[in-house]
């Protein structure tokens, strides 16, 4: 096993500063080969076939991990044994023909793979034969792999909805949005949901759903709408923000970004105003907290010294408020926030009410003197936007108006 801080290669030096080759060149192009693996939970055959069809519709050659259909003989929530899942991950990454390793779904189990991985071997295979870096994609439980790839390789990865999960089946927006991050450069891209048409003029609170109407949080900008009701369980169709079917990316057709129709409006809001620049890191709160004390987060107090300023992102799903409290206090005591120049919050799907989550965050970090932004959407939102990790971003969080965060240009 390699040391926690291996010698930095020229490629590492470039990416360690958050300067990703993806800023000017797309990670993938039609004809590339991707490996589809199940590093966490198992999937069903229908979801697997749907995932293959989706990737092939983008002009990609799809190779399945040898154990993608495996089941752990004793632990039913794992897709195969640790050895099987680890082997698929390492084989996929080290295959010179592989351009991207795509996690089929999350669940649980990715962190169990890390101790047996030879990261010297992984590092030697970080580039494709043509010099382009390989890409790792996934979210939720795949946070464990994002953290490991960040620590051991210093490469950019993509925190995005996974092709074997419900958003790719139920959302008309997610497939096209993910495609823009796979087939278009990242430099200058804005993160989160787009602004509404009323962004420039502000929002008339009379246009908002009435309190107690059973609709969810609005998708309008909160500029000029401090008194707008903040409720739960939005019906996007009733709010005029339903997503329309986006055409799939095909080789030689129009760009992916031209196929994003009817995306939900941004509902991001500033909790603590300010501006920040830094390297975007983090992911699922439960997984980040579970990683405390691991080699990947053992040097978290030295993160600023190694990589410069950081913007920390967090999201979670199906956690009670007291559980979120336990996870946050673990990160606070472990020093994870010591490197933070800003904190951005994604979705808290099926957790406590968003107002309570925000109050909890503010109780821990409200006096830290750093910008904090809520409801950026990434994570488990049904239409969750993709978010690159390990790249430099700029965050603007005004006291009034919509916060914005974007990938810095090359």
Q: What is the pLDDT of residues 10-69, one digit of tens each?
A: 344 344 444 578 999 999 999 999 999 999 999 999 999 999 999 999 999 999 999 999
pLDDT digits (tens, 9 = 90+) for 313-325: 999 999 999 999 9
Burial 297-331 (b: 16+ CB within 10 A, else e): beebeebbeebbbbbbbbbbbebeeebbeebbebb
CATH placement of domain 269-407: 3.50.30.60
Task: Examine the pLDDT at 328 and tell me if it is beyond 90.
Answer: yes
Task: Examine the pLDDT at 257 and tell me if it is beyond 60.
Answer: no
Q: How far is CA 62 from CA 28, 99, 105, in A?
A: 13, 10, 16
CA 367 to the chain's CA centroid = 26
3-class SS letters over 227-281: CCCCCCCCCCCCCCCCCCCCCCCCCCCCCHHHHCCCCCCCCCEEEECEEEEEEEE
Task: Examine the pLDDT at 205 and tell me if it is beyond 80.
Answer: no
pLDDT score at 225: 31
Q: What's the CA dihedral at 189, 20, 388, 397 to 10 degrees?
A: -60
pLDDT score at 265: 78
- Per DSSP, the three-state class of 178 is helix
Q: Among 212, 165, 208, which residue's Cα sits nearest to residue 317?
A: 165
Q: Tell me if 10-183 shares its fold with 269-407.
A: no
* Angle at the Cα of 86 from the Cα atoms of 83 and 90, rounded to 5 degrees: 135
**Fold held by 10-183:** Rossmann fold (3.40.50)
Q: Is 131 left (phi over 0), alpha (psi -120 to 50) or beta?
A: left
pTM over 0.85, yes/no = no
pLDDT digits (tens, 9 = 90+) for 1-19: 444 434 334 344 344 444 5
**Per-domain boundaries in the chain:** 10-183, 197-267, 269-407
pLDDT digits (tens, 9 = 90+) for 219-253: 222 222 332 223 223 333 333 333 333 333 433 44
Q: How far, in Å, CA of 319 to CA of 348, rounded?
A: 8
Q: How far, in Å, CA of 102 to CA of 232, rounded?
A: 32
Q: Classify residue 397 by its DSSP letter.
A: E
Residue 208 CB-density burial (10 A; 0-12 exposed, 13-18 middle, 19+ buried) = buried
Q: Classify residue 217 by its DSSP letter.
A: -
Looking at the DSSP bridge assignments, the partners of residue 103 are: 37
Residue 293 CB-density burial (10 A; 0-12 exposed, 13-18 middle, 19+ buried) = exposed
Residue 15 · residue 165 · CB < 8 Å? no
Name residues whose C-beta falls within 8 Å of residue 179's C-beta, 6 or more positions apart in sequence: 58, 248, 249, 256, 259
pLDDT digits (tens, 9 = 90+) for 288-314: 999 988 877 755 556 666 667 899 999
Q: Describe the strand order of the beta sheet including 157-159 as a list of residue ranges.
A: 61-64, 33-37, 98-103, 135-138, 157-159, 387-389
Name residues whose C-beta falls within 8 Å of residue 375's C-beta, 6 or more positions apart in sequence: 217, 267, 268, 269, 345, 346, 347, 354
- Per DSSP, the three-state class of 372 is strand
What ranges make up the beta strands (E) of 110-252?
A: 135-138, 157-159
Q: Describe the strand order of the beta sheet including 392-397 as a list of residue ranges.
A: 269-272, 372-374, 340-349, 310-317, 274-284, 392-397, 404-407
pLDDT score at 399: 96
Mean pLDDT of the chain: 82
* Strand pairing report for 33-37 and 61-64: parallel
């Amino acid at each position: 096993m390699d040391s926690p801080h291996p010698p930095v290669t020229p490629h590492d030096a470039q990416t360690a500063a958050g300067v990703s080759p993806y800023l000017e060149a797309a990670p993938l192009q039609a004809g590339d080969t991707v490996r589809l693996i199940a590093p966490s939970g198992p999937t069903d055959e229908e979801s697997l076939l749907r995932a293959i069809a989706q990737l092939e519709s983008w002009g990609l050659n799809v190779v399945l991990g040898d154990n993608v259909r495996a089941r752990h003989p004793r632990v039913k929530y794992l897709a195969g044994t640790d050895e099987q899942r680890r082997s698929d991950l390492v084989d996929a990454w080290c295959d010179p023909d592989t351009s991207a390793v795509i996690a089929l779904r999350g669940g649980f189990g990715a962190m169990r793979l890390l101790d047996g991985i030879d990261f010297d071997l992984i590092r030697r295979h970080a580039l494709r034969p043509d010099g382009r870096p390989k890409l790792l994609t996934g979210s939720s439980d795949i946070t464990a792999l994002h953290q490991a790839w960040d620590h051991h390789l210093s490469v950019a990865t993509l925190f995005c909805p996974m092709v074997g999960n419900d958003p790719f089946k139920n959302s008309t927006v997610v497939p096209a949005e993910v495609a823009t991050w796979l087939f278009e450069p990242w430099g200058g891209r804005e993160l989160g949901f787009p602004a509404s048409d009323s962004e420039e003029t502000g929002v008339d609170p009379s246009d908002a759903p009435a309190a107690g109407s059973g609709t969810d949080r609005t998708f309008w900008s909160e500029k000029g709408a401090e008194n707008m009701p903040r409720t739960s369980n939005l019906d996007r169709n009733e709010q005029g923000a339903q997503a329309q079917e986006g055409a799939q990316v095909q080789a030689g057709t129009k760009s992916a970004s031209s196929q994003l129709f009817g995306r939900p409006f941004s509902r991001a809001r500033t909790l603590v105003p300010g501006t920040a620049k830094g390297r975007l890191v983090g992911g699922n709160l439960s997984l980040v907290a579970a990683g405390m004390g691991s080699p990947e987060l053992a040097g978290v107090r030295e993160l600023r010294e190694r990589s410069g300023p950081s913007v920390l992102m967090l999201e979670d799903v199906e956690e009670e408020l007291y559980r979120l409290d336990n996870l946050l206090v673990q990160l606070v005591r472990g020093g994870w926030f010591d490197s933070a120049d800003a904190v951005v919050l994604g979705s808290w799907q099926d957790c406590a009410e968003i107002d309570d989550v925000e109050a909890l965050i503010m109780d821990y970090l409200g006096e830290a003197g750093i910008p904090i932004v809520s409801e950026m959407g990434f994570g488990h939102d049904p239409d969750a936007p993709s978010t690159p990790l390990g790249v430099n971003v700029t965050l603007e969080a005004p006291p009034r108006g919509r916060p914005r965060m974007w990938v810095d240009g090359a």
